[in-house]
Chains A and B, each alone.
Chain A
Amino acid sequence: MHKLTIAEIARKLRSKEFSSEEITRHLLQRISELDTRYNSFVTVTAEQAIAQAKQADTRLASGDTEPMCGVPFAHKDIFCTNSVLTTCGSKMLSNFVPPYDACVVTNFKNAGAVMLGKTNMDEFAMGSSNETSYYGPVKNPWDTNCVPGGSSGGSAAAVAALLAPGATATDTGGSIRQPAALCGITGIKPTYGRVSRWGMIAFASSLDQAGVMAKSAEDAAIMLNTMASFDEKDSTCVDQPLEDYTAGLGNPLAGVTVGIPKEYFGEGLNAGTQAAVEAAIKELEKAGAKIKSISLPHTHLAVPAYYVIAPAECSANLSRFDGVRYGYRCDEPKDLEDLYKRSRGEGFGDEVKRRILVGTYCLSAGYYDAYYGKAQVVRRLIKQDFVEAFKEVDVIAGPTSPSPAFQFGAKSDDPVAMYLEDIYTIATNLAGLPGMSLPCGLVDDKPVGLQLIGNYFAEGKLLNLAHQFQQATDFHSLAPASIA
């Protein structure tokens, strides 16, 4: 049962091969048996999941047609869940139980989906290896000595280890696509503004975007249909008509032009990764796509610009965690300043503190223009690169990350090496474009991801390409040998 895709589960629930309660109990059992290996969940909501499954079974019996109805899945622990602990991977929120649901959580509840639990993540989504979580690192199911990527490492590992057929995730600078690549699954970050950020704990507001992780492009399309909505509570949400992302999956690729940015194949790219990605591009060509070499000349500025803008925004976004109203508070504060200093000093981990400091510095009097101001200029240039490129091509393709999963500790002492993990993904966030990653091969028995980047609101096109690729290949159905 745990090997099934969401599309298959939806069918079998309706053909009564099993009930939602049965598959939910099965997956909860798997989680309790296996997740000690992966540490992909922070909280498992077994009781609530079974109650939701029973409700879904009633809905299914009365002919409910919502594809996610009765389908178990997991939420990244960055989404606020009413009455359920929401930690954001931090000690700061180790006691935080929100009295409200994120818009994304409401959408899945309304669809009748069954939440198995909340997945582990880098603290406040800051990290590319899941090593910054207060709840311990997540292990990559392909090799438990390796990182799953981050920040949505828990969601990626849960799907890769077949503990959940799909999971929600967020992507501020590659946090869906990089772990999807490292764990051999399919992940999509939609256009900025497509999914409401209400109730999603902010890291960098102008970059944060929720998306999904699943075993296939088809499943990602089904989940995204449920997830996407216009929400008046998020002023940055775009009031764009909703589309059925499954509708165009079968479109042929003839007439689709795929751009290959030469900057994504330079120094730093692992040879095996490069070979797998190039082979995948050939596969797209075989399926009818036209391949065209393009240039995104400001690519090299994406990481530095990102590491000014994201920390700047986070330095303000995380000010609310002050020990006054909720969350962690230090013991016996002797005055207000002591309360602030120790609550924040003890409640935040090193990477979060590093980014708050960097962001505070970048916004300081005398440095603002040189850092934040410049970074905004770069951001516009990067966006312009894409605008120009999409005049010539429909989709851009390249590697998701420079190399497959690395060992724990390999980069944790070198922030810059860690930041370069996201060298191919970050520009997409700066431009607000949709991007996805799908498995396209193995290097040393570890998965490699192919990244697809689309024009604004072209999620359907990305999913179409990915689905066609997955019809012709079986990389997405590979599972780690250790997982039965």
Chain B
Amino acid sequence: MEWETVIGLEVHVQLATQTKIFSGSSIAFGAEPNTQACAIDLAMPGTLPVANEQAFRYATMFGLAVDAEIGKRSVFERKNYFYPDLPKGYQTTQLEEPIVGPGNVDILLSSGEQKRVRIHHAHLEEDAGKSVHEGASLGFSQAMSGIDLNRAGTPLIEVVTEPDMRNAEEAVAFARKLHSIVTSLGICDGEMSQGSMRFDVNISVRLKGGELGTRTETKNLNSFRFMERCIEQEVERQIEVLEEGGTITQETRLYDGDTHTARAMRSKEEANDYRYFPCPDLLPVILDDDYIEQVRSTLPELPDARQKRFEETYSLSAYDAGTLSADAAVASYFEATAKASGDAKLAANWLMGELSAKLNAEEIAIGGSKVSAEHLAGLIARIKDQTISNKIAKQVFEAMWNGEGDADSIIDAKGLKQVSDSGALEKMVDEVMSNNPSQVDNYRKADEKKRPKMLGFFVGQIMKASNGQANPQQLNEILKNKLDAE
């Protein structure tokens, strides 16, 4: 049997507004519990919400970025359920008339194929607080839970896709593209580890070409890696169940990032009846064309346009341009390096090679890079003018990363300058040749085809003697001349 996977995503994107969606409290991450919660956030009696204009602006920017229709009339509704981290006993969200209507996002797959994922809609809503189940560490007796309402009321857009993705790769590519769009727009800080983007994944499998299967929803994935693993596991689980003749239960599952396993949280029967109805405390918000056009005029360059520009301006491959343009911070680092060094190709290689390896190894974002774009450009300039070889450059990069200064001062201090003095090089060649007469003999007896390979021995010896500082091109030339001369 050939199975096909069908995946749809619901993505919660925290908007990087100054204040909460319905109150004046700050939304900064990491404050002491309940220090960023005012009477409105605590749902004290008689308090009322006032909608945050910046949240509407950000949601509108998102809608325009995914080529969606902007809801000119957008209505908040109350989604009713009881939970201690939901102070009002309802979440203020949108249902029937969301701010962002149908749109689409194009993703590039590793096969080189481009695919379009349709956005069903995106709506504005408030986040809930957090229940903290670490009683003992909070000074409570073990059985108690704490509630932190700092996050309650943080503005979110929930982006809902059509079930257009067919495997984990596509879902992750979409998620990364979405991350790229919202960070480029500057409407989300993109800090996945802080929950700034959270994914709910709807997964079902069906026989190829058949009717849609029953889906499960796995909630609250906050890394691309978790998402990938979770999808692979869930697809495998569903296929196994179906192949054994079982049926899939429509249920909500929760993924545990520590154990990398998911478990059923509640079935459809246990699902809440949320009793949505329009929030009478908030009037419908009407966005007119002038407002929408004004927002459109403020849109920064989006990833797709940037990729195209990178391909054209810097003659990069589609893949390289895509990688470098996805993240706004990476893109601007790249452009600064390319411009200052005058070599975009080398800048791209270094960014995607050494720099990205370092950043990944130390788990830091490009904003926190220990080598600035200016320093990297300085290094590239020395490679270009042949002051140092690529190999030495890696050594210099390492030193720059360790805070030892810029490329020039490190090259000077360590005496890493490439030896391009032909007199000095000739002397080294003569020395190596006289020390290895049998190899010289062999070389000279060998035919033309075998010689280039045999040349490697002499290059290696001289590089060793010169601490890698010999200019390789020059060295090659001199060696060849001398060996071939007999």
Contacts and interface: CB of A to CB of B under 8 A. Distances in A.
B273 A80 contact: no
Contacts of A79: 46
B410 interface: no
A236 B281 contact: yes
A205 B43 contact: no
B46 A319 contact: no
Contact of B43 (A198, A232, A234, A320): A320
B43 A202 contact: no
A312 B78 CA distance: 11
A324 B277 CA distance: 24
Given A316-B80, A319-B89, A320-B89, A100 B44 contact: yes
Contacts of A363: 80, 275-277
B43 A360 contact: no
Interface in A198-244: 198-202, 204-206, 232-236
A86 B277 contact: no
Contacts of B42: 325
Given A235-B51, A319-B90, A93 B275 contact: no
A197 interface: yes
A364 B273 contact: yes
Contacts of A206: 280
Given A80-B45, A234-B48, A319-B90, A372 B273 contact: no
B82 interface: yes
A358 interface: no
Given A88-B45, A320-B43, A325-B43, A236 B283 contact: yes
Q: Is the interface of A mostly helix, strand, loop or mixed?
A: loop
A316 B90 contact: yes
B82 A319 contact: yes
A325 B48 CA distance: 17
B49 A198 contact: no
A365 interface: yes
Interface string B53-89: 0000000000000000000000000101010100111
Interface in A9-38: none
| Residue among B44, B50, B87 with the highest chain A CB neighbour number at 10 A | B44
A102 B88 contact: no
Contacts of B277: 312-313, 316, 363, 368, 372
A264 B244 CA distance: 71
A198 B46 contact: yes
A324 B47 contact: no
| Residue among B39, B276, B281 with the highest chain A CB neighbour number at 10 A | B281
Q: Is the interface of B mostly helix, strand, loop or mixed?
A: loop
A320 B46 contact: no
A325 B129 CA distance: 13
Contacts of A318: 89
Given A198-B48, A235-B48, A319 B80 contact: yes
Q: How large is the interface on A (under 10, 10 to 19, 20 to 34, 35 or more residues)?
A: 35 or more
| Residue among B48, B51, B276, B281 with the highest chain A CB neighbour number at 10 A | B48
A205 B50 CA distance: 14
B46 A102 contact: yes
B90 to A, nearest CB: 5
A325 B43 CA distance: 9
Interface in A58-114: 79-80, 86, 88, 93, 96, 98-100, 102
A322 interface: yes
B89 A233 contact: no
Q: How large is the interface on B (under 10, 10 to 19, 20 to 34, 35 or more residues)?
A: 20 to 34
B364 interface: no
Contacts of A99: 39, 44
A340 interface: yes
B440 interface: no
Given A324-B147, A325-B43, A319 B88 contact: yes
Contacts of A205: 280-281
B383 interface: no
B280 A336 contact: no
Nearest to A204: B280
Contacts of A86: 45
A236 B90 CA distance: 19
B282 interface: yes
Given A99-B39, A100-B44, A235-B50, A320 B281 contact: no
B88 to A, nearest CB: 5
A184 to B, nearest CB: 30
Contacts of A313: 277, 280
Contact of B282 (A96, A235, A340): A235
Contact of A200 (B39, B44, B46): B46
A306 to B, nearest CB: 14
A197 B48 contact: yes
B50 A233 contact: yes
Nearest to A320: B43
A235 B281 contact: yes
Contacts of A88: 45
A236 B51 CA distance: 11
Contacts of B39: 99-100
Interface in A303-345: 312-313, 315-316, 318-322, 324-326, 336, 340
A232 B50 contact: yes
A102 B44 CA distance: 12
Contacts of B282: 235
B94 to A, nearest CB: 15
Contacts of A98: 44-46
Given A102-B46, A316-B78, A325 B87 contact: yes
A481 B213 CA distance: 78
Contacts of B84: 322, 324, 336
A336 B51 CA distance: 31
Interface string B273-313: 10111001111000000000000000000000000000000
B37 to A, nearest CB: 10
Contacts of A372: 277
19 contacts: A79-B46, A99-B39, A197-B46, A199-B47, A201-B46, A202-B45, A205-B280, A236-B281, A313-B280, A315-B275, A316-B88, A316-B89, A318-B89, A319-B89, A321-B45, A324-B147, A365-B273, A365-B275, A368-B275
Given A316-B275, A320-B88, 7 more contacts: A98-B45, A99-B39, A102-B46, A197-B46, A316-B80, A336-B84, A372-B277
Interface of A: 79-80, 86, 88, 93, 96, 98-100, 102, 197-202, 204-206, 232-236, 312-313, 315-316, 318-322, 324-326, 336, 340, 360, 363-365, 368, 372
A-B pairs, 8 with minimum CB distance: A319-B89, A363-B275, A206-B280, A205-B280, A199-B46, A320-B43, A201-B45, A80-B46
